[in-house]
Structure 1
Amino acid sequence: MSSCFVKSTCGDCLLRCVFIVALWLVSVPAFAEPSLPLGHYPLPETGNIVGETYTVSVEDEKDTLLDIAHAHGVGYEEIRRANPDTSLWVPGKGTQVQIPAQHILPDVERKGVVINIAELRLYYYPEVQNDEMPRVETYPIGIGRDGFDTPLGITKTTMRLEDPAWYPPESVRREAAARGDPPPNVVPPGPDNPLGQHAILLDIPGYLIHGTNQPDGIGMRASRGCIRMHPDDIKAVFDQIPNGTQVNIIDEPIKLGRDANHLPYVQAFTSLNEQETSISDLLNIVNNVDELPDTKRSNIDYEAMKNAIRRGSGRIEPLI
């Protein structure tokens, strides 16, 4: 750029310098705009889809599919659905792995924490100042297994604990005693603590959002009802989520999305063969389709919608 300020009597050279300076000034905002961390997205001005699906190549022969999932902010079920023919433990150096990092935002108020148990994912909408960009942060989670369902409904955070102690509940004590291995009354902080290093208590007795000492279980239905996060993820949000933050726990297995051009998409996480979808759920989907402009609605491929819901693959699939 310094050469543009060399004194010259050449008109062409002067015009060329002015053009370069103008181009540089136009380009500065694009380079100056800070990039967001993994899993953080600006809220779309139009539509409700964030992120993108992309492919990476396995660089280290020691990498597992779970290592790759964690590095790209997705969970066990997500990475398995996206790569059904890839070995979980030895994908192999050079293997192409699809990263399903595109999400339709849940159809609820964008406030506080939203946990969609159907997709094993948490969304956090932080409060922002007037000069800040509204955004969403999203993370894979583990939830309650069969018989230990994570409760649904709106609650709030009540307390944050760093290096929490774990007091095994009665159900754990009974199971352990039946195996002849009764647990201690309390498990202190450390590598054996299933709560990890961070815990956020909810206003539902006995339920928390917490870390884990078994991060490979993130993205699975494996807990006793609590919401598990990868240790890195809960550490990232721990100081951001104040006490009293709203937490909305929902079960939305089918989501209808719209991109910036109002084109419709569907994302289904559980096959109709595995989980009943109520008539009200399906009517809600149809009603959302009905809100599209006539020119878009008339082109909806309802057969594609039915097939996507039946597959429950978690992919965002076009409906036109």
Structure 2
Amino acid sequence: MQETIVGAINDALHAEMATDDKVVVFGEDVAESGGVFRATDGLKDRFGKERVTDTPLSEIAIVGGAVGLAMYGYRPVAEIQFSGFLTPAFDQLVTQASRIRWRTRGEWTAPLVVRTPYGAGVKALEHHSESLEGAYGHVPGLKVVVPSTPHDAKGLLIAAIRDPDPVLFLEPKHIYRSFNGELPEESYKVPIGEAAVRREGTELTVVSWGAMMEPTMAAVENHGVDAEVIDLRTVSPLDHETIVESVKRTGRALVVHEAARTGGFGSELVARINDDALYYLEAPVERVTGFDIPVPLLSMEDYYLPNPPRIEEGIRRVLEH
């Protein structure tokens, strides 16, 4: 069947709640209205108010409650309405959820999922468009997943719900409904920690993830370069081997992400490439990113986000060096 990313997420939640009665869903407006983007639509009617619950407006309570439920046998899926609102619960993710396994020497785990729409492109208000995957990817013990297709959205979310450790599931809202993709009706998992090679090539390796995959693929096609395009899918754990092996074959690399440039996850990718593929490089690794400012409002948001012309310019810089 054909489905959007948000539809795939809804399908995954229905499938896992039907399979395991320990899976519970909660967050602001997820029950009565089906979530601000309708990702949880129909769950309350099917599974009842005890398993699908609206919460008060408190991100600390939402994530903190998920930690407690996870430690006592449930599989909580908590929704934070926008990723910019997740920062009040940073403490629960960093000092609690991510450390339970280490702190108890494996006696306890916290198998929870925090779902949240992230990124710019929908001209939302302040604190609605952040892209902070680099900050969360820095936390040991916390897995960070970013799908870019309906197929991966369903398979990665199912894998995240079944995972024994906490997973932050970042959903690129800019492409929630921008295209349909083939979606198997049955349940399946896409492995966490494995990147996807979306396009094979020999001249250049381009790495991106989330909503930036669309303009990245467009730029590669427009430029006509024989590029290998890698979709990370998982920021942490990172599929280091796929990236390094690709760069060793192509000798050139470009990283594209919408987060601010300084300290963005692209910096880690550049460092990894320099660590293990430096002597294969024919040019310095380039980055095309957002700017070092808060995501601007309204029309200026389009200028902030990497677009095909900006990415093509990055491709030219790498190839002409």
Query: TM (normalized to structure 2)?
Result: 0.24
Structure with greater strand share of residues:
1
Larger radius of gyration: 1
